[in-house]
């Protein structure tokens, strides 16, 4: 521990336009920081190793980058590069270069950081905004489902009289009551042997949806539908937490299996965004 080294470190950092923080929430050493020379919202942070009480340095400074998110929260995006006073300047350069290798969120362009769960997530947590949207959407849907259930119940009781309130919800036809014109051709061609098409869908996969018509991709919902796979069982059933859906595709049309039959007029399958996954025909 030395006051001379502390003065050296302080000099190097102040000479490089770092500001010294008054507090350190996580320890008793002096923290210095300044903006990254090129990357927006990225800050270079140095734990100087200078003890705030004694003013002495332990000659082991740590340099890292943080991303300042929308809520002004600091998210650590690189691991510490440790250096002595002598090598501090080059450690700062190294940390700055490391910025290029930090992944960005493909949705809001913020840097990603390793969350406590161990997953790399968006520093802006743009998920939460989507989750909020989903909640209100889900609430709406629940109501229409409830009304639909009431309608079914009413029909079952052969009570064909509808209250005006139920009539107003008629736009949403429950799945059980909907008719599909394509069903006919689907049945007609069912004599032909249809091919099963599968893909490996795993828990943790970030997924969107693709619309398939007669084995061609007719719509890609990337950017408007987003979910994360929670579970995939041995029968191919896939549980997804749909975090965002700004499309008009209703939840009942969302895919829920890792397989489907080829040659259908229209179907929806998962599109895995977080890694390369291909749909293959089962021979």
273 binds Zn ion (CB under 5 A): no
- Provide the β-strand partners of residue 225: 245
171 closest CA partner among 142, 153, 147? 147
Q: Which is nearer to Zn ion, 76 or 105 (CB)?
A: 105
83 binds Zn ion (CB under 5 A): no
229 binds Zn ion (CB under 5 A): no
69 binds Zn ion (CB under 5 A): no
Tell me the window of 11-19, 90-98, 121-129, 258-266 that interacts with Zn ion (CB under 5 A): 121-129
Tell me the window of 110-118, 151-159, 250-258, 271-279 that interacts with Zn ion (CB under 5 A): 110-118
What's the closest the beta carbon of residue 130 comes to Zn ion, in angstroms?
A: 9
Pairing of strands 81-83, 61-68: antiparallel
Q: Which is nearer to Zn ion, 244 or 272 (CB)?
A: 244
9 binds Zn ion (CB under 5 A): no
The residue within the footprint of Zn ion, chosen from 108, 172, 202, 273 (CB under 5 A), is 108
77 binds Zn ion (CB under 5 A): no
Which parts of 142-171 interact with Zn ion (CB under 5 A)? none
User: How far, rounded to the nearest angstrom, does the alpha carbon of residue 73 sit from its chain's CA centroid?
Assistant: 18
CB under 8 A, 24+ apart: contacts of 173-176: 173/148, 174/145, 174/148, 174/149, 175/252, 176/152
The residue within the footprint of Zn ion, chosen from 61, 126, 226, 240 (CB under 5 A), is 126
238 binds Zn ion (CB under 5 A): no
What's the closest the beta carbon of residue 105 comes to Zn ion, in angstroms?
A: 3
Q: Which is nearer to Zn ion, 55 or 132 (CB)?
A: 132
Residue 78 and residue 98 in contact, taking contact as beta carbons nearer than 8 Å: yes
CA distances from 73 to 23, 68, 69, 106 (A): 16, 6, 5, 20
74 binds Zn ion (CB under 5 A): no
CA distances from 265 to 6, 188, 194, 215 (A): 73, 12, 12, 8
- Provide the β-strand partners of residue 19: 33
CA distances from 211 to 139, 221, 226 (A): 25, 8, 14
107 binds Zn ion (CB under 5 A): yes
Residue 68 and residue 74 in contact, taking contact as beta carbons nearer than 8 Å: yes
206 binds Zn ion (CB under 5 A): no
Q: Which is nearer to Zn ion, 98 or 108 (CB)?
A: 108
Residue 74 and residue 122 in contact, taking contact as beta carbons nearer than 8 Å: no
Which stretches of the chain bind Zn ion, using CB under 5 A? 105, 107-108, 110, 122, 124, 126
């Amino acid at each position: 521990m030395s006051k001379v080294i502390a003065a050296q470190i302080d000099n190097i950092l102040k000479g490089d336009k770092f500001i010294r923080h008054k507090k350190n929430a996580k320890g008793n050493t002096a923290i210095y920081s300044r903006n990254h020379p090129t990357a927006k919202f990225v800050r270079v942070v140095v734990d100087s190793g200078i003890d705030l009480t004694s003013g002495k340095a332990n000659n082991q400074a740590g340099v890292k980058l943080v991303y300042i998110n929308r809520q002004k929260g600091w998210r650590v995006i690189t691991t510490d590069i440790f250096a002595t006073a002598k090598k501090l300047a080059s450690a700062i350069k190294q940390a700055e270069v490391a910025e290029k290798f930090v992944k960005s969120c493909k949705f809001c362009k913020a840097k990603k950081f390793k969350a406590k769960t161990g997953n790399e997530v968006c520093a802006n947590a743009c998920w939460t905004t989507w989750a909020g949207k989903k909640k209100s959407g889900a609430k709406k849907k629940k109501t229409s489902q409830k009304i639909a259930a009431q309608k079914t119940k009413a029909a079952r009781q052969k009570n064909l009289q509808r209250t005006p309130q139920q009539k107003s919800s008629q736009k949403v036809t429950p799945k059980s009551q909907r008719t599909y014109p394509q069903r006919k051709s689907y049945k007609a061609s069912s004599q032909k042997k249809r091919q099963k098409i599968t893909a490996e869908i795993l828990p943790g996969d970030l997924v969107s949806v693709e619309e398939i018509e007669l084995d061609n991709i007719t719509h890609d919902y990337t950017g408007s539908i987003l979910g994360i796979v929670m579970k995939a069982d041995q029968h191919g059933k896939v549980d997804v937490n749909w975090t965002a859906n700004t499309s008009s595709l209703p939840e009942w049309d969302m895919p829920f299996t890792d397989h489907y039959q080829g040659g259908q007029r229209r179907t929806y399958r998962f599109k895995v965004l977080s890694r390369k996954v291909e749909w293959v025909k089962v021979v």
